[in-house]
Amino acid sequence: MLTVWHASDETQPTTARQPDLRGHITVLAVDHNPILLEGIAVLINSQPDMELIGTANSAGAAIELYRKSSPDVTVIDLELPRSTSISAINEILSTEPHAKLIGLTTAEFDRAAQQALAAGVMAVVAKDRLGDMLVPLIRYRVR
């Protein structure tokens, strides 16, 4: 079984199906909304070539989980409360310059999106477009 880490105030592993490691894309999801994280989990885990390896609900937890899991792609909310997503993006990219990060925002192109793109995220997706945009974008950015 694969260990899936869910990071928040406490980091707790759970088990998930064992991925096919040949060409398998691992994804870390970061958002303050547990319902959105669950939706991302369903979306990613329904793909035969993808596996959600962890979730986090804060910038600090995202950095910790990124270091533990080294995902192929990190999907990060650009509007995390009580923390700054940009600081998490900068921290991850400072230790892993080739990290693949995709920002999530409530608006197509807002100030947070501009800052995230300037900081080094590969793309920004509006949360209301996740269903049709996230999976193809992950595949495009990883392959």
Q: Give the count of beta carbons closer than 10 Å to the beta carbon of residue 97.
A: 8
Check residue 107 and give its pLDDT.
Answer: 74
Q: Which domains does the chain have, with CATH numbers?
A: 2-142 (3.40.50.2300)
Mode of pairing for the β-strands spanning 11-16 and 2-7: antiparallel
pLDDT 10s digits, 81-106? 777 899 999 999 999 999 999 999 98
- Predicted TM-score of the model (pTM): 0.83
pLDDT in tens, 56-84: 999 999 999 999 999 999 999 999 877 78
